[in-house]
Chains A and B, each alone.
Chain A
Amino acid sequence: AQSVTQPDIHITVSEGASLELRCNYSYGATPYLFWYVQSPGQGLQLLLKYFSGDTLVQGIKGFEAEFKRSQSSFNLRKPSVHWSDAAEYFCAVGALTGGGNKLTFGTGTQLKVEL
């Protein structure tokens, strides 16, 4: 069965500093990976996705992520954080199971931005 680990529960960065959120996955076949962002009391919005090809993927709001198969990682990065980036971030892995397409999420990383 697939699983996702986000080792950092909370991260605080200063506005303008760089950001890296960690994500490790476990899946026996080719993973389909996603990063989502959630504002308080809201649904999730897709930031970016990786299916195949170039291991560095670009997303919305200036985010990017790099897929590293050897490390089973899919870390999210942003060169310069804005105060509006404060939110909760979720990494997810998609997999084809006997019951269909299953999407499994990590426990999330809460990002706080200091002005």
Chain B
Amino acid sequence: DGGITQSPKYLFRKEGQNVTLSCEQNLNHDAMYWYRQDPGQGLRLIYYSQIVNDFQKGDIAEGYSVSREKKESFPLTVTSAQKNPTAFYLCASKGQGVRTEAFFGQGTRLTVV
């Protein structure tokens, strides 16, 4: 079955540590996205990528980094510079052009302990 897989579903991080969230898709989509979701704030765009080896900062990129070495994969690293990393993180992918919808993974809940 085609889809987007995020792992792990739950992640705990100690303060000062970097952690990497995985996102893999087998939909052959060119575009991939990372969103952060906090209660009452909707989905805020962290980074997005249209093609391999290229990505753009979204609205809240500070404290995060990404890579896009393969079309299928778009991992997100939450660095120690992110002051408030506890949140629900959603990955999405999308076909070419604006006339396509985004498909979402099931999310990763990150908690700083």
Contact = CB atoms under 8 A, between A and B. Distances in A.
A83 interface: no
A99 B43 contact: no
Contacts of B105: 43
Interface stretch (A11-19, A68-76, A88-96): A88-96
Contacts, number: 69
Contacts of A108: 40, 42
A46 B102 CA distance: 8
Main SS class of interface, A = strand
A67 interface: no
B42 A42 contact: no
A103 B97 contact: no
B23 to A, nearest CB: 11
Interface string A24-56: 000000001010100001111110010100000
A81 to B, nearest CB: 22
Interface residues of B, number: 30
B31 interface: yes
Main SS class of interface, B = strand
Interface string B76-113: 00000000000010101010011101111111010000
A44 B101 contact: no
Interface string B43-61: 1110011100000101000
B60 to A, nearest CB: 12
Given A41-B107, A41-B109, A101 B45 contact: no
Interface of B: 4, 31, 33, 35, 40-45, 48-50, 56, 58, 88, 90, 92, 94, 97-99, 101-107, 109
